[in-house]
Amino acid sequence: MSKFKKKQGNAMPAISTASLPDIVFMLLFFFMVVTKMRDNELMVSVNTPQASELTKLEKKTLVNFIFIGKPIQKLKDKWGTKARIQLGDKFATPEDIPLFLEQHKLTVPESQRQSIISSLKVDHDVTMGIVGDVKLALRKANQLKVNYSAKKKERTK
């Protein structure tokens, strides 16, 4: 009589899946904490004009957006109905644009700072006076790469 029994076959033991829910919830929690959904809340109404020849911007991190339009409905009591400039999360004046550009430059690697583009998202009902002021402020801040955002023009048959 032998004390040791011989193994019957070389069967692999089953992998325990007891810790799988813990790993899934850790990954879910990690992505919930790290993911940034939207940088800023839009405080002006922007209905961009339509255009036929459009080019898509490749690197969104190199683009700083300047919104120009009338305040949204819930802010009209405080800010009125005149067209405003929005930089980030607040209303601004053309004099605030150089500081906004410098703050954006600090977030971009130094080798890519020459490729920064300012994208103007302008409502189609806004007069050119405020747009001209913004363009002048961009020129004074030596930001010469300017892009105008537009929607793709619908084809008519």
Residue 96, burial from CB neighbour count under 10 angstroms (0-12, 13-18, 19+):
middle
For the chain of 157 residues, list the mean pLDDT of each consecutive stretch of 10: 65 81 92 76 87 85 91 89 91 94 90 91 92 95 92 76
Domain with 104, as residue range(s), is: 59-151
Copy the structure tokens of residue 27: 């990954």
pLDDT for position 27: 93
Q: Is residue 121 part of a domain?
A: yes
Q: Is residue 107 part of a domain?
A: yes
Q: Is residue 117 part of a domain?
A: yes
pLDDT confidence of residue 16 = 82
Asked whether residue 147 is domain-assigned, the answer is yes
Please state the domain count of the chain: 1
106-120 as b/e, with b when 16 or more CB fall inside 10 Å? eebeeeeeeebbbbb
Q: Is residue 87 part of a domain?
A: yes
The pLDDT assigned to 18 comes to 85
38 inside domain: no
120 part of a folded domain:
yes
- The CATH number of the domain holding residue 81 is 3.30.420.270
Whole-number pLDDT of residue 53 = 85
CB 86 within 8 A of CB 44: yes
- Per-residue pLDDT at 132: 95
Q: Give domain status of residue 53, yes or no.
A: no
Q: What is the pLDDT of residue 9?
A: 63
